[in-house]
Structure 1
Amino acid sequence: MTQSITPQEVFKIMNERDRFSNWLGLQVDKVDSGYCKLHYTVKEDMLNGFERIHGGVLFSASDSAFAFACNSHGIITVALDVSITFTKPCFAGEVLTVEAQELHLGNKTGLYDIRTTNEKGELVCLFKGTAYRTSLPVQ
């Protein structure tokens, strides 16, 4: 299938409609075919009862990077299966980078590796996503 829309155009369409990612304060640095890199600052209201980042925030930011990467081909693509492993705590004020990379793209599914790192380059969490590609174009 020939792509008639660029990854950057897909991102622009998605980002204008994605109120949740914007509410989280995600700043997208780069979007390309099967790829997304973004960053965000951990805010006080993202902390759990132990004053560490809430796992749901890490999951959500990873899921957004996953969505931007897997939809970059111009076909509406949704999560089929995801999992996350938390490896390091984070605290308010830290800047986290999330990088989503396509590992495999099939006719109907794709596999993605999404890694969140802190400012020292240490792995904070590892998110794996399997995506289902619909037959609908991103518009």
Structure 2
Amino acid sequence: MTDAATEPALNREMMQRDRAAAWLGLVVERDDPGHAVVSMVVREEMTNGFGITHGGIVFALADTAFAISCNEDERVTVAAGADIAFLKSTVPGQTLTATAVRRTRSGRTGLYDVSVVDERGEAVAEFRGRSISTNRTF
């Protein structure tokens, strides 16, 4: 986990209030402007009727890494849209890691890619998020 003294204050504040991330047990491994890494351990209650990780949980992990990476300044930045491709199923006990990277940011909009891998580094999902900065500030 990133040392609190070096972690950007904006994202620390955002994540301290993120109840969904806390409930999911998400761990912020890296928090830099335009780049974030977030991990979680899959729990039994995160599975669907087939005993595999629910797609919404994988999306939430990727979406959180996206949110951290696109909130780079004092402006509140939110998702304008996102798409995900599920590539591999996972099961309870596995650790998933989402790495978000800014592709481009221009004016109020941005484009970010998030790769989700399992503990062996195998691709689980690919997420592309489109951001828009609001007039609100932290």
Shorter-chain TM-score bucket reads over 0.9
Q: State the secondary structure of the residue aligned to 1:93.
A: coil
Q: SS state of the match for residue 133, structure 1?
A: strand
Which segments of 5 or more consecutive residues in structure 2 lack a partner in the other structure?
1-5
Asked whether the 8 Å contact 1:34–1:73 carries over to 2, the reply is no
Write the letter of the residue equivalent to 1:71.
Answer: N
The unaligned stretches of length 5 or more in structure 1 are: 1-5
Q: Distance in 2 between matches of 1:72 and 1:58?
A: 23
- Residue number in structure 1 paired with 2:89: 89
Matched, 1:53 2:63: no
Q: Deviations over 1:44-75 (max 9, x none)?
A: 00011111000000011111111111112232
Which residue of structure 1 lines up, in the alignment, with residue 74 of structure 2? 74
The size of the alignment, in residue pairs, is: 133
CA distance in 1, matches of 2:7, 2:69: 8
Structure 1 residue 129 displacement after superposition = 0.3
CA contact (8 A) 1:98 1:114 kept: yes
8 Å contact kept, 1:114–1:127? yes
Any conservation in 1 of the 2:109–2:130 contact (CA below 8 Å)? yes
2:123 matched residue in structure 1: 123
Mapped partners of 2:7, 2:129: distance in 1? 19
Q: In structure 2, the residue corresponding to 1:58 is in which secondary structure? A: helix
- Residue 108 of structure 1 and its aligned partner are, at CA, apart by 1.1
Percent identity of equivalent pairs: 38
Residue of structure 1 equivalent to 2:105: 105
Cα deviation, 1:57-108, whole Å, max 9, x if unaligned, reads 0011111111111112232111101000000000100011110100001111
Asked if structure 2 preserves the Cα contact closer than 8 Å seen for 1:89 and 1:124, the reply is yes
For the aligned residues, what is the CA RMSD?
1.2
User: Taking structure 2 as the reference length, what is the TM-score of the superposition?
Assistant: 0.92
* Cα separation, 2, equivalents of 1:73 and 1:93: 35
Offset at residue 137 of structure 1 (A):
2.2
Q: Does 1:14 align with 2:4?
A: no
